[in-house]
Amino acid sequence: MVAIVGIFDGHPPLGRNASTGAADLIRQAILGGQVSPGQRLKEEELAQQLGISRTPVREALLVLQTEGLVEASPNRGATVRRYELPDLADMYELRALLEGNAARRAATRIDADSLQRLHESCARFQTLVGGSDLNRLVAENAFFHETILVAADSERLAGMVRQVIALPLVYKSYIWYSPEQATASYHGHRQLTNALERRDPSRAESIMREHVYEAGDVLAQHMGSAELPTETKEAAA
């Protein structure tokens, strides 16, 4: 059994405490695809890689478990959660429901400042659509949705949405966008921003719902044909 070395090499000083820091790093590793679904997460191994003891690692795994990113059985430890096709449909239905509601709420609550930020995000998004910098595209998309989520002004709703979208697949799904799909996504952002500016809750909700469902379609399309791209590439020191 070869220990997987290198995943956490050169990690930052581990947050305000070891436990939450470990949770952040492991979460990132899962969302970023450095560890593959189904892979076992051994406490001792993670502890050594992170340079801490098993105790904070256990706590980190527990948090990730309640977040739904890892599964655990008694006395058998944690594994990275697998996601199946049927579950994916549920997930996007939920996301459409929740983010649609967020858009509706935002329409009557958003301030000029946030609207300005959305416009700017759209502009940046447009320049990225044709390019190859997928990481920035993903980040820009996340920023756009997060801004609306904050404008919806409901901590509870925001928490639920973040829970639903915190999956490796969702996180990196732009990788699979065709130019046409990316352009459609950009169009959605523009339309949504306009609806929010007009203070139109119904339209905002309906656009957001469709926007989310289309993202789900892209994903389902790629899940149906090829299996997930399991990145097992290791960073050589």
Partner DNA sequence: GTGTGAGGTCTTGTATGCAAGATCTACAAC
Partner DNA sequence: GTTGTAGATCTTGCATACAAGACCTCACAC
The answer to whether 84 contacts a copy of itself (rule: CB under 8 A) is no
Output the smallest distance, CB 4 to a copy of itself, in A: 25
Q: Report the residue count for the chain.
A: 237
Measured between alpha carbons, how far is 139 from 26 in angstroms, rounded to an integer?
Answer: 19
* Structure tokens belonging to residue 155: 């901590």
**Minimal distance, residue 33 CB to a copy of itself, in Å:** 21
Neighbours of 25 (CB within 10 A): 21
Helix, coil or strand: residue 32? helix
Nearer Cβ to DNA (18/118): 18
Strands 70-73 and 77-80, bridge-based pairing: antiparallel
Cα dihedral 94, 99, 104, 108 sign: positive
Q: Taking CB under 7 A as the rule, does residue 38 contact DNA? A: no
13 is a site residue for DNA (CB under 7 A) = no
Expressed in angstroms, the distance from the first to the final Cα of the chain is 20
Name the residue nearer to DNA (CB basis): 44 or 217.
44
Residue 44 binds a copy of itself (CB under 8 A) = no
Task: Name which of 156 and 233 has its Cβ closer to a copy of itself.
Answer: 156
Is 59 a binding residue for a copy of itself by CB under 8 A? The answer is yes
**Choice between 59 and 197, CB closer to a copy of itself:** 59
Please give the residue ranges that form the binding site for DNA (CB under 7 A): 1, 17-19, 40-44, 47, 52-56, 58-59, 72, 74-78
